[in-house]
Amino acid sequence: MPREDSAIMAAKRTVHRTTSPCGTSRVMRYWRICGATLLLLIIRTTETLICSNINARNSAADLKQLEGCTVIEGFVKIVLMERTNETDFEPYTFPELREITDFLMVTRVRGLRSLGKLFPNLERIGGYRLMDSTNFALVVHEMWSLEDIGLKSLKEITKGSVIIYKNLGLCYAKTINWSLIQNKSDVSKNYVAQNYDQANCPPCPDCKDGLCWNGAHCQIQRMERPDCHFRCVGGCFNSGPSGCYTCRGLLDSAGNCLDRCPPNTYEFLNRRCITREECITTPLYDEDDGSKYLDNYLTCEDKCVMDCPAGYGYNLGLTDCHPCRGVKCERWCLGAHVNSIETAKALSGCTHIAGSIKISIRSSNPKEVSTELKAHLGLIEKITGNLIVIRSSVTDFNFLGNLISIEGENIPERNALVVMENQHLQKLWDWNVKQNLTILKGRLFFHHNPKLCLEHINKLLKVIRYEHNVSNFEIGKESNGYKFSCYEVAIENITVTFKSSDMLQIHVPRSEINGTLGAVRFVVYYTKDPFMNLSMFDDLNQCSDHGWKTKDFSIYPNDAYFRNNGFFVDLIGLEPFTMYAFYVTAYSINRKGA
């Protein structure tokens, strides 16, 4: 397989990002083989048929990919079969399948009445990788015909939570004790809601504690075969460590269930032990294009991993991760579209981006978004393509505090930095902390950022020594900063007067207003501040429970009352014995922009 240039090749190792040391390596992405059986990775052992990801959609016939599989090393998705009926599923049952290493997702399928018919012997869902952008290992959503879950053999969900939601005909959703299957921390994040009312469902059969999967099968609270080895998840065919149908631990090449891999072998997918040669010849495929080969797995200590985790590096052409030993590892990653916290996590530890980064992440809590982005993108120093921040809930760009270079290579529209439609953005970088930034090629594009004043954009132009003539098409003078106090009015000696247990009055004294500005709008922001630690940049979402509330009005320069008395604002409906924070802003009404 031919190798590409070093930046792209290095980045391809990290498209499947790990964020933990080798001992707890967690990969956020995996290859996907979409309905193409010729590409289906199949490994045969004496009694096992291991298959890779199953993505069955649109037609029940797509389920044929599961035939004969005893283990899915990856995920199973059964989705978007909206024109199917019950007879379409009659030919399909997969009693051989006992384990899925990642997650099981079924959504928007018509005609399927029970998952138990498909997977009567499924014992374990590993949760090694969870469903994109979520913490879920089992997803059952909008299954219009589903009457019960029916996974009577399921004994363990190793990691991840469960969501069973909007299945309007589903009974027995509340008669399963998930704490017998999951970790306590994951059970607390389960979401089971908007299913059929259990009060109108048939009762469980004579089951201990009233726990059942359906009207025919109780939830088993102990191993079916007490003579099975203690490492067996469910049943077994002999009582030794090699007799488990599904192993709670790691399988060696002889089929023995162990706590750890033998010497000179490597833990793979938190499930089995393989040799070094098997590890480094196992291919990685692109998640979005299952036929696109990226590279092979790497060894890291005693693990076989998709990428070297934080604190480890590699040399191009080699197949082993090595500790950086006190020096910062240069980590190349492919460009990405960051539209969730989970996709941001995929770039954790990256220092160099081969390609572009587009950030479009929304949240009701901008402060939390900035914190998460800093944790996962904060090491990035170089972007070879461009940086796009569009419709994102960020107040500034300090989460990219280590970024020193945007190279602008191979970008459309010639724009190296695009900043658009960010409703909360008020600043770019703190230039007292960040001393340098270079944009080697390309131009800037700033539009429709209502709280970003032009002065911050102009400061950026000076820092990067921007040599192009700036047009209104590139940086909108009217479309940036038009909802923020970009024109400063000196306000001194503001006083607060106690009026009643739920009312305060704020007095803003007269101020000198430039008569050429026309009317000036004053806005008083206030919110609870029990810990007295808020600043005006904290949590600007007014729809949240803790957002800033506002009182506003307009003043004209020739307003005689204001010139003599200032103005008074009554804050009413306050909670007694509660600390509040407030601040006052002012900006011109007549101006179209900042």
Q: How far apart are CA 448 and CA 434, in angstroms?
A: 25
Rg (Cα) of the chain, in Å, rounded?
Answer: 30
DSSP string, 434-491: ----EE-S-EEEEE-BTT--HHHHHHHHHHTT--SPPPTTTB-TTTBSTTS--S----
Of 14, 1, 2, nearest to 306 by C-alpha is: 14
CB-neighbour burial class of residue 498 (10 A; exposed 0-12, middle 13-18, buried 19+) = exposed
Number of CB atoms found within 10 A of residue 393's CB: 22
200 contact partners, CB below 8 Å, separation of at least 6: none
At 6, list the tokens: 């070093």
User: pLDDT value at position 36?
Assistant: 32
Q: Which domains does the chain have, with CATH numbers?
A: 50-218 (3.80.20.20), 232-321 (2.10.220.10), 331-464 (3.80.20.20), 495-588 (2.60.40)
Residues pairing with 441 in the sheet = none
Q: How far apart are CA 304 and CA 24, in angstroms?
A: 11
Of 25, 582, 579, nearest to 301 by C-alpha is: 25
Q: How far apart are CA 118 and CA 133, in angstroms?
A: 26
Residue 475 phi, psi (nearest 5) = -125, 105
User: pLDDT value at position 325?
Assistant: 73
User: pLDDT value at position 334?
Assistant: 86
SS3 521: strand
Amino acid at 114: S
User: pLDDT value at position 13?
Assistant: 43
The answer to whether the beta carbons of residues 321 and 309 sit under 8 Å apart is yes
DSSP string, 250-294: EE-TT--EESSPPTT-EEETTTEEE-HHHHHTSEEE-SS-TT-EE
CB-neighbour burial class of residue 410 (10 A; exposed 0-12, middle 13-18, buried 19+) = exposed
Q: How far apart are CA 352 and CA 66, in angstroms?
A: 39
The answer to whether the beta carbons of residues 72 and 81 sit under 8 Å apart is no
Chain-centre distance for alpha carbon 509: 48
Q: Are strands 49-51 and 71-72 parallel, antiparallel or unpaired?
A: parallel
The answer to whether the beta carbons of residues 422 and 394 sit under 8 Å apart is yes
The answer to whether the beta carbons of residues 418 and 388 sit under 8 Å apart is yes
User: pLDDT value at position 542?
Assistant: 46
User: pLDDT value at position 102?
Assistant: 92
SS3 365: coil
Number of CB atoms found within 10 A of residue 574's CB: 16
Q: What is the pLDDT along the chain (594 residues), one digit of tens a residue?
A: 433 444 544 444 433 333 334 543 333 333 332 333 333 444 433 468 999 899 999 999 999 999 999 999 989 999 999 999 999 999 999 999 999 999 999 999 999 999 999 999 999 999 988 887 678 999 999 999 999 999 999 999 999 999 999 999 999 999 999 999 998 778 989 999 999 998 999 999 899 999 999 999 999 876 556 789 999 998 888 999 999 999 989 999 999 999 999 999 999 999 999 999 999 999 876 554 455 566 789 999 999 998 888 788 776 567 999 888 766 778 888 899 999 887 888 888 788 999 999 999 988 778 888 988 999 999 999 999 999 999 999 999 999 999 999 999 988 778 999 999 999 999 999 998 887 899 999 999 999 999 999 999 999 999 999 988 899 999 998 899 888 767 666 667 788 999 999 999 998 887 655 444 556 777 888 988 877 777 765 654 444 445 788 887 777 767 778 777 878 899 999 989 888 888 887 766 555 443
CB-neighbour burial class of residue 556 (10 A; exposed 0-12, middle 13-18, buried 19+) = middle
The answer to whether the beta carbons of residues 136 and 127 sit under 8 Å apart is no
